[in-house]
Amino acid sequence: MNMLKIADRTFQSRLLLGTGKYPSFEIQKEAVEVSESEILTFAVRRMNIFEQSQPNFLEKLDLSRYTLLPNTAGAKTAEEAVRIAKLAKSSGLCDMIKVEVIGCDKSLLPDPVETLKASELLLEEGFIVLPYTSDDVVLAKRLEQLGVHGIMPGASPIGSGKGILNPLNLQFIIEQSSVPVIIDAGIGSPKDAAYAMELGADGVLLNTAVSNANDPVKMALAMKLAIEAGRFGYEAGRIIEKNYGVASSPMTGMITS
């Protein structure tokens, strides 16, 4: 399988895994392990200093083994996203940022105008910028023209598990892009992940589909395999669909009476 290239980095794995909402640290650790993901996403938040009893699973992972992709979740404006991104970068642990500026609290769909503004500002600051966007083809084009390092269109609303609702738009985005396209948000099951890869996506970013599965570790494995299968399928080139049957066995040498 070809490698995933983002900016000047290369990755074996095309699965980017979120780190939220796992039932326990042990399960999260094993799921991350089994997924073979090399890029982990996480959020930037105030420390819970007044109630330190609450565990932070992320701190127990060996973060040095992974490329860290913090998000700007919680931001509603470009300004807030830039503040969060700078805080994350100042840790010295990462220079990539998933630009996530939510424009609608109910659907959690991104604000296209603020996402574009934030991406522009963060590129000027020298970040590796990966914006989470809707499946808007023109917005993806505009982001690419700004110089973002990848486009991350959602398959459906964050955490909805509805899978790929508009494969045509995703395909348009994939076809036009010269930067990696990572399908982010809305993946529900392995078939969605495989489908995204068969459409030609360069990667899939998911969280809830694994962390909230009955067995997150097994689902992490299923997603890894689905993404590999989908990618191999894409690279192999599928057959053209036909309306009628075409025999697989020879039409000559029939045994007749």
Partner 1 sequence: MIIQLNGKRHELPQNIATVADLLEAFELKNRIVIVEINKEIIPKEQYLLPCLKDGDAVELIHFVGGG
**Contact residues for partner 1 (CB under 8 A)?**
18-22, 28, 41-47, 49-50, 52, 56-59, 63, 68, 70-71, 73, 83, 86-88, 90-91, 93, 158-159, 185, 205-208
Q: Which structure tokens are listed for 104? A: 């609608």
Tell me if residue 141 is catalytic.
no
User: What whole-number distance in Å separates Cα of residue 145 and Cα of residue 166?
Assistant: 23
Shortest separation between residue 70's beta carbon and partner 1, angstroms: 7
CB nearer partner 1, residue 137 or residue 181: 181
Shortest separation between residue 50's beta carbon and partner 1, angstroms: 7
Q: Is 9 helix (H, G, I), strand (E, B) or coil?
A: strand
Of 98, 117, 224, 242, catalytic: 98
CB nearer partner 1, residue 67 or residue 207: 207
Q: Is 229 helix (H, G, I), strand (E, B) or coil?
A: helix
Shortest separation between residue 104's beta carbon and partner 1, angstroms: 17
Question: Which of 123, 137, 222, 225 lies closest to 181, judged by CA?
Answer: 137
Pairing of strands 96-99, 128-133: parallel
CB nearer partner 1, residue 105 or residue 241: 105
Shortest separation between residue 116's beta carbon and partner 1, angstroms: 21
Residue 97 forms beta bridges with which residues? 129
Residue type present at position 150:
G
User: What whole-number distance in Å separates Cα of residue 78 and Cα of residue 66?
Assistant: 27
Query: How many other C-beta atoms can be found within 10 angstroms of the C-beta atom of residue 248?
Result: 5
CB nearer partner 1, residue 63 or residue 146: 63
Instruction: Show Cβ contacts of residue 90 under 8 Å, excluding neighbours closer than 6 positions.
Output: none
| CA-to-CA separations, 163 to 76, 176, 209, 230, in angstroms, rounded | 25, 22, 10, 15
Shortest separation between residue 107's beta carbon and partner 1, angstroms: 16
CB nearer partner 1, residue 81 or residue 137: 81
User: What whole-number distance in Å separates Cα of residue 114 and Cα of residue 112?
Assistant: 6
Which residues are catalytic, by number?
Answer: 98
